[in-house]
Amino acid sequence: MEIAAGILLGIGLAASSGFRVFVPLLVTSIASLLGYLQLSPGFEWMGSWIAFSAFLAATIVEIGAYYVPWLDNALDTISGPLAMIAGTVLTASFLTDVSPLLQWTLGIIVGGGTAGIVKVGASAARLTSSATTGGLGNSVVATSENAMSVIMSVLAFLIPVITAFVVILIIFYLIRKFSELKKKKWKFFRQEISGSEIP
């Protein structure tokens, strides 16, 4: 697979892993079993029936666990690093005919970075839902994340250029929102400090 195509596909699937860790791995395994894609050397195991069975079981457990009120927020903490690992592995698995150094560097930066940013955004949405609805709205958030993960994983294979473009827009939006939130918190902190100094 050409490096540009591998990166585009990796971006879409890495973003999907930011919503659900195992869904894009499962979709990749299915695509490989159907002969739709060629994985880079060393990653052929992802296209085995054993890997498919493991990813399918893990996907079912992960999706179901996000509907348990007290478990969903705890899973966000655990799945953050896992999403970045999945994004890294997925991106690296599509980069054929490149040196291992470039393969893993791009995997970490493109795949891991994309998955991490999307995961932070998804976690923020869940925390907001927990704070504003007492956790009652978390099932809606979970369903939305499930749908986004499946749709984005499939579209990453069908229309990788458009999917990657949409993901990049989402990333820029999230970075902007995080930056605005950080500025508001810093401004509030400075006002509190200034107010406390007034006799």
Model-level pTM? 0.82
Helix axes 138-158, 22-33, angle to 10 degrees: 30
Task: Determine the average pLDDT of the residues in 50-58.
Answer: 97
Model pLDDT for residues 144-160, shown as the tens digit of each residue: 999 999 999 999 999 98
Q: How far apart are the first and last CA of the chain?
A: 68
What pLDDT shows up at residue 195? 56
Tracing tokens 């949409």 back to the chain, one arrives at 166
Model pLDDT for residues 136-192, shown as the tens digit of each residue: 777 888 899 999 999 999 999 999 899 999 999 988 888 887 777 777 666 655 665
DSSP code string of the chain: --HHHHHHHHHHHHHHHHH-SHHHHHHHHHHHHTTS--PPTT-GGGGSHHHHHHHHHHHHHHHHHTTSHHHHHHHHHHHHHHHHHHHHHHHHHT--SS-HHHHHHHIIIIIIHHHHHHHHHHHHHHHHHHHHHTTTTHHHHHHHHHHHHHHHHHHHHHSHHHHHHHHHHHHHHHHHHHHHHHHHHHHHHHHHHHHHH--
Mean residue pLDDT across the chain:
86
* Cβ atoms of residues 110 and 14 within 8 Å: yes
